[in-house]
Amino acid sequence: MELFEAFVLTVITAATPLLLAATGELVTERAGVLNLGVEGMMLVGAVSAFAVAVTTGSPILGILAAMVAGVSMAAIFAFFALFLVTNQVATGLALTLFGLGVSGMLGASFVGEPGVKLAAIHLPGLSELPLVGRILFGQDPLVYGSLIILLGVSFLLKRSHVGLVVRAVGDNHHSAHALGYNVLMIRVAAVLFGGLCAGLGGAYLSLVYTPQWTEGMTAGRGWIAVALVVFSSWIPGRLLIGAYLFGAVTLLQFHLQAVGVPVPSQFLSALPYAATVIVLVVISRNRRLLRTHTPAMLGSTFVPDK
């Protein structure tokens, strides 16, 4: 019982930053924008959260700082990719490189400092329930926040007029423009939301997952988040399954190392990324699935009529 509880808790911890970042990227892509700068936005969010939390002693202020940092990074991408109509792939890659450099510079003085951990929510009586107590009623606010955000995104995209407009912009921006919708502003809002979620994912890493700052601490999670969007076929419900599945794969490498499996540690460390590549290859072979769910205008530039 205790081992099962510990396993589930660890999977949730490993999956939450992926779920946060991937949810934001899903909304961005459903609006027709491909932002490959998730890794950079997560890194800047992580260092901002850690620096503000350590300086003020408040992890809540750290979370707010991460949100602002993520949105600011996304705004840079939006300015170049949407208003200056630069190539979205190249701009996203540049944003990741920019985030790597900026986070390393801002976090240089915080390396080795003890962090401020975001405390878990404790509900008397419920949190002490056997097996499910800590799993359901003893998580930190960002775990619950990730699920609430995903649920909200799912409802918004499927059940609301706003979601219909976002999907229309992602599927045919010319038709949406002809109907009077401001395509650029809708896409800017989607990109900024993606940056906010990526910042939250970074904050989770530096305030909960490992309450410290180390350069490059995202370790490729931003790229896995982008892959998760494809894995989910741009469907929020599948995104939840994918994030927790990849969280379990991440945990598997540590478990195998702990029990002394005679496999090189480098191979075990590569397991999550190898799983990502395998999943993408399998999904790419299903042409019908990709054509059905992929936003038709994904990565396409839009220039409004003069």
pTM of the model: 0.92
CATH number among 2.30.30, 1.10.3470, 2.60.40, 1.10.10, domain 2-293: 1.10.3470
Question: What pLDDT score was predicted for residue 3?
Answer: 76
Tokens at residue 10, please?
A: 């660890």
Every domain of the chain and the residues it spans: 2-293
Which of 138, 107, 303 is closest to 208 using CA atoms?
138
Mean pLDDT of the chain: 90
Distance CA 185, CA 195 (A): 15
Residues of the chain with pLDDT under 50: none
Question: What pLDDT score was predicted for residue 265?
Answer: 67
Distance CA 71, CA 41 (A): 8
Question: What pLDDT score was predicted for residue 257?
Answer: 67
Question: What confidence tens digit (pLDDT) does each residue in 265-283 have?
Answer: 677 677 777 877 787 777 7
Helix (H, G, I), strand (E, B) or coil at 46: helix
